[in-house]
Amino acid sequence: MGFDTPGGPEVFRAETLDLPQPGPDQLLIEVSHAGVNRPDVIQRQGFYPPPPGASPIPGLEVSGKVVAIGPGVAPEMLNRRVCALVSGGGYAEYCLAHAAHCLSVPPHMDMAEAAAIPETLFTVWHNVFERGFAVDGETLLVHGGTSGIGTMAIQLAKAFELDVVTTAGSEEKCNAARELGADLAINYKTEDFVEKVNDFTGGKGADVILDMVSGDYVQRNLDCLAVDGRHVTIAVLGGLKAEINMAKLMSKRQVMTGSTLRPRSDEFKALLADEIYTHAWPLFEDRTIAPVMDTTFPLAEVSAAHARMEAGDHIGKIVLEVRPAE
């Protein structure tokens, strides 16, 4: 599925392209399912072009069967069920991936679930644990607790014995976050999250904040971020710019950082995948963690999938079924 010009969900149209051929260290996946993510929406709107060399087709995560391998890929990868982080091309029947960016799907895992994991898992692991340096016993504040990122962050943080505070826009979503393990879920439409976080932590504040909002949330985040706390930005849904009190930041020795995953090098993503495979993937293999699934749409209904994401009513992951199960 592609589009000719940026626009609303209705711009998607089917297209037929040549079958891609795997190059060195690449493999070809016969796609079963593809995850839908906010960057896909922003790309469709014309504000997030794919990095050089990436497929112009949206889609940053897929599950499926390996049907061809390029030079340097182990022969035993053929016919393996995998899920993969990709730089584009997921909304298609076949998708290229780097072998080192794939995770083997355990036999018990549904392929729709598998497609819902890579983008959020890689993003949360890198930003909460690598950039945010979160450790057991600390408090994590994650905004958008019922988004794909939020549901993944809550579960991972609880698995590694962090206290978790989250925000959401309705009592239904707050209850869903609590069911996932959030220690405190705040309805940001009716409650002041700064006050609630400080109360919950006895005035200390959160040690790590995973922020997808930016804009005027940033100073509010810093107001409930602990001394030596880490503020990690992964999206700017609330605005590109923020005004902050630098004197307060200095006095509390707070650290501000952020990242985008898609343009990072293949080498970086391979190292990240290796760390995830060692430390986080066993939690999915034994079902300690499972992705929260919202709705699965046929690939032909990708416009409806994007419309649901933009409406903001979803809880968990939206997935496209590319190839119906046999």
Instruction: Convert the pLDDT of each residue in 171-209 to its tens digit.
Output: 999 999 999 999 999 999 999 999 999 999 999 999 999
Mean predicted lDDT score pLDDT of the chain: 96
> Which H or E run contains 305?
helix 302-311
Written as six digits, the tokens of 30 are 């016969």
**pLDDT, mean of residues 301-322:** 96
Domain 126-258: give its CATH code.
Answer: 3.40.50.720
pLDDT tens for residues 214-265?
999 999 999 999 999 999 999 998 999 999 999 999 999 999 999 999 999 9
pLDDT tens for residues 116-136?
999 999 999 999 999 999 999
In 3D space, the residue among 305, 234, 291, 309 whose CA is nearest the CA of residue 115 turns out to be: 291
Taking 60 as the threshold, does the pLDDT of residue 3 lie above it?
yes
- Answer CATH for 9-117+262-321 from 2.70.70.10, 1.10.1370.30, 3.90.180.10, 3.30.1340.10: 3.90.180.10
Q: Calculate the dihedral angle through the C-alpha atoms of 176, 256, 233, 46, rounding to the nearest 10 degrees.
A: 160
The per-residue pLDDT for 325 is: 67
The per-residue pLDDT for 24 is: 97
Topology agreement, domain 9-117+262-321 and domain 126-258: no
Q: How confident is the model at residue 298 (pLDDT cuts 50, 70, 90)?
A: very high
Provide the whole-model pTM.
Answer: 0.94
pLDDT tens for residues 50-104?
988 899 999 999 999 999 999 999 999 999 999 999 999 999 999 999 999 999 9
Taking 70 as the threshold, does the pLDDT of residue 326 lie above it?
no
The per-residue pLDDT for 53 is: 87
| Cα–Cα distance, 1 to 58 (Å, whole number) | 8
Strands of the sheet containing 184-187, edge to edge, are: 184-187, 163-168, 139-142, 206-211, 225-233, 255-258
Instruction: For residue 321, list its beta bridge partners.
Output: 33, 298
Q: What percent of the chain has pLDDT over 90?
A: 95
**Residues 99-110, buried b or exposed e (16+ Cβ, 10 A)?**
bbbbbbbeeebb
pLDDT tens for residues 261-289?
999 999 999 999 999 999 999 999 999 99
The per-residue pLDDT for 226 is: 98
Return the domain boundaries, the chain: 9-117+262-321, 126-258
User: Are the C-beta atoms of residues 309 and 80 closer than 8 Å to each other?
Assistant: no
